[in-house]
Amino acid sequence: MTPDLVTFLRPLLTAEASAEAYAAGAEPGDLEQAVWLRLLERLKADDPPHDPHRWLRSAVRSEARRTRRTARTEQPYGIEPAGAAEHEPEHLALTAARHRALRDAVRRLPGRCPRLIEALLSPKDLTYREIAGELGISQGSLGPERSRCLGCLRRLLAPEVAAR
């Protein structure tokens, strides 16, 4: 495909694909790509269109019809049972890695923050009264202390989250 032909046809193809795509239930870019591919196949077969504008309009409409037919006949896959992905090896490995990163960051927190966050993350689901008793602080100061510790944890995890 020559660069001149691409430059020559691109505005028309963009307009035609935009006009046909949504009625066909497709994205304009997908229609454009399909038409470029059909044009490339024709040029490869040494059968260039005699009237490129007319051919392009016809090709866009044809691709839109094909997309509509495909959408009518395709059936979605059955829905996976709830929780099926939770037992996939990749899911389990990623979850374990996230938990390790969180636990490592909690251990790096200053002061009594590691103990406080560990208590909040405890599977025992401790109440504020139980956590305050365990840490030896008043229940009223637990909220502000928690906020400070979570702020520190956010700052520690920010570079790790951004890196990913």
Range of the domain at 97: 91-163
Q: What is the pLDDT of residue 74?
A: 72
Domain-located, residue 81: no
- Residues 69, 95, single domain; the answer is no
Domain-located, residue 86: no
- Which CATH number do you get for residue 148? 1.10.10.10
The number of domains in the chain is 2
Domain-located, residue 35: yes
Residue type at 132?
A
Domain-located, residue 80: no
113's CB contacts (< 8 A; 6+ apart) are 106, 145, 148, 149, 152, 153
Domain-located, residue 108: yes
Q: Please check the confidence at residue 163 and state whether its pLDDT lies above 80.
A: no
- Residues 114, 52, single domain; the answer is no
- Residues 67, 30, single domain; the answer is yes
Q: What is the pLDDT of residue 55?
A: 93
Domain-located, residue 82: no
- Residues 69, 9, single domain; the answer is yes
- Residues 33, 7, single domain; the answer is yes
110-155 pLDDT, tens digit per residue, is: 998 999 999 988 888 888 899 999 888 888 888 899 999 998 888 8
pTM over 0.75: no
Distance, CA of 62 to CA of 68 (rounded, Å): 10
- Residues 139, 112, single domain; the answer is yes
Confidence of residue 21 (pLDDT cuts 50, 70, 90): confident
Label residue 150 exposed, middle or buried (CB < 10 Å: 0-12, 13-18, 19+): middle
